[in-house]
């Protein structure tokens, strides 16, 4: 059965795509097949007559099978703004039923893993009534939290975990991602997080300058995910 995980983060721009790519590479290195899904993306460009997003293109490029772009990213909006606002501006409605149908059809492909990248942080509005977290709840997806290590991330990490758990979802793991090469008191901050977070730590990714992104997988251990509830 396909193992599916939802990747959220302590904020936007904390490394969700970077970590999702690393997870996909780690699974691929282990000899498994993977698919990436970015249900909702804002900040897209017209490419070949279609709106495309760089996160979704990254996930598509790291997938084991070749599928049309739309299957990796059903909702694509041009402006780099909150997706529910972008949707409203373009007279579209983001709908959980559609997302579930698209994930179900992706899940029919014979792959071992599907990694699903959220947008923004945990409580991202998708329309006037719903949050992306409501859809994750509908799907009962185990969650992986990316903590972008910078000043302020302790509060963001602990509040995100509290919300995920209060939503009744399993935290399958978390990842420390070094996004600030000049951060002070790195070890004391990491100790503060590790003392308080009980979920498995899947890895600590250093600041990888000069687009050394392909190395991300070297710092990730996906083995705790194999025993996570599906």
Ligand X SMILES: Nc1ncnc2c1ncn2[C@@H]1O[C@H](COP(=O)(O)OP(=O)(O)OP(=O)(O)O)[C@@H](O)[C@H]1O
Ligand Y SMILES: C[C@H](N)[C@H](N)CCCCCC(=O)O
Q: Which residues contribute to the annotated binding site for Mg(2+)?
A: 17, 55, 117
Question: Looking at 115-123, 147-155, 178-186, 213-221, which segment touches ligand Y (CB under 6 A)?
Answer: 115-123
Q: Identify which of residues 15 and 142 has a Cβ nearer to ligand X in the complex.
A: 15
Q: Does 55 bind Mg ion (CB under 5 A)?
A: yes
Q: Does 16 bind Mg ion (CB under 5 A)?
A: yes
Among 112, 113, 122, 119, which Cα is nearest to 143's?
Answer: 122
Residue 42 binds which entry of ligand X, ligand Y, Mg ion, none, CB below 5-8 Å type-dependent: ligand Y
Q: Does 8 bind ligand Y (CB under 6 A)?
A: no
Work out how close the CB of 35 gets to Mg ion at its nearest, in angstroms, rounded to a whole number: 16
How far apart, in Å, are the Cα atoms of 96 and each of 74, 79, 144?
11, 21, 20
Residue 124 binds which entry of Mg ion, ligand X, ligand Y, none, CB below 5-8 Å type-dependent: ligand Y
How far apart, in Å, are the Cα atoms of 148 and each of 13, 16, 51, 111, 181?
8, 9, 28, 29, 11
Cβ proximity of 77 and 42 under 8 Å: yes
Buried b / exposed e over 109-130, threshold 16 CB at 10 Å, is eebbbbbbbbbbbbebbbbeeb
Q: Identify which of residues 115 and 219 has a Cβ nearer to ligand Y in the complex.
A: 115
Please identify which of the residues 38, 137, 187, 198 carries the catalytic annotation. 38
HEC-encoded secondary structure of 48-77: CCEEEEHHHHHHHHCCCCCCCHHHHCCEEE
Please, which residues have CB within 8 angstroms of residue 184's CB and are 6 or more apart in sequence?
151
Tell me which residue has its CB nearest to ligand Y. 120
* 38 included as an active-site residue: yes
* Binding-site residues from annotation for substrate: 42
Q: Does 7 bind ligand Y (CB under 6 A)?
A: no
Selected from 103, 132, 208, 220, the binder of ligand X by CB under 6 A is: 208
Q: Does 158 bind ligand Y (CB under 6 A)?
A: no
Cβ proximity of 171 and 161 under 8 Å: yes
Q: Identify which of residues 75 and 219 has a Cβ nearer to ligand Y in the complex.
A: 75
Selected from 62, 84, 156, 178, the binder of ligand X by CB under 6 A is: 178
Q: Looking up tokens 């579209």, which residue turns up?
A: 92
Question: Where in the sequence numbering do the catalytic residues fall?
Answer: 38
Interaction site with ligand X (CB under 6 A): 9, 12-18, 55, 120, 177-179, 205, 207-208
């Amino acid at each position: 059965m396909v193992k599916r995980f939802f990747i959220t983060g302590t904020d936007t721009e904390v490394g969700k795509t970077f970590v999702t790519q690393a997870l996909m590479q780690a699974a691929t290195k282990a000899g498994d097949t993977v698919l990436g899904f970015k249900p909702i993306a804002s900040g897209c460009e017209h490419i070949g007559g279609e709106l495309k997003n760089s996160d979704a293109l990254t996930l598509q490029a790291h997938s084991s099978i070749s599928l049309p772009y739309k299957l990796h990213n059903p909702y694509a909006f041009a402006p780099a703004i909150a997706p529910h606002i972008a949707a409203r501006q373009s007279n579209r409605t983001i709908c959980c039923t559609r997302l579930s149908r698209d994930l179900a059809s992706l899940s029919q492909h014979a792959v071992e893993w599907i990694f699903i990248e959220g947008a923004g942080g945990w409580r991202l509005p998708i329309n006037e009534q719903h949050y992306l977290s409501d859809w994750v709840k509908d799907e009962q997806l185990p969650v992986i939290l990316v903590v972008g290590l910078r000043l302020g991330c302790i509060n963001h990490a602990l509040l995100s975990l509290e919300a995920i758990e209060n939503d009744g979802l399993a935290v399958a793991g978390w990842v420390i991602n070094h996004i600030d090469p000049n951060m002070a008191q790195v070890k004391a901050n990491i100790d503060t997080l590790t003392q308080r977070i009980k979920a498995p730590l899947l890895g600590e990714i250093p600041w990888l300058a000069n687009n050394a992104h392909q190395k991300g997988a070297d710092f990730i251990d996906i083995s705790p995910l194999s025993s996570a509830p599906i």
